Amino acid sequence: TVYGWPKEVPCIEEFPLSAANPYGRTKLTIEEICRDVQRADPDWKIILLRYFNHVGAHPSGYIKEDPRRIPNNLMPFIQLVAVARRPALTVFGTNYNTVDGTGVQDYIHVVDLADGHIAALLKLEEAD
């Protein structure tokens, strides 16, 4: 979202920032506000995390996707079909700039995301 339409994938943090939509511009604005706060008061420790769609479950079952309403991303639909709570999977969108016209998404597993958050907190702690 903050990288616009990159010329190559996967994206890396060093890619130029160029939001492709209002949501991306909002994310970049918030990042800039965080940097401004830290510049104004160096006691603030800030780390910015850029990740995309989180999906999956923890083996314990405490972290999971079990939507009670209409899901807002693809993975819960896949899971509902897999456990026979939905008869079929419908993929929407046919006019994207891809080979088959369908959308392309990046996903990160919730456990990897949690590990990343812990690593970020430890990095901030090192800065003391």
What are the residue numbers of the active site? Answer: 23
Positive or negative, the CA dihedral 103, 106, 111, 114 is: negative
Cβ atoms < 10 Å from Cβ of 79:
19
Dist. CA 4–CA 40, nearest whole Å:
29
Give the three-class secondary structure for 128.
Answer: coil
The angle subtended at Cα 74 by Cα 1 and Cα 118, nearest 5°, is 60
Dist. CA 109–CA 92, nearest whole Å:
23
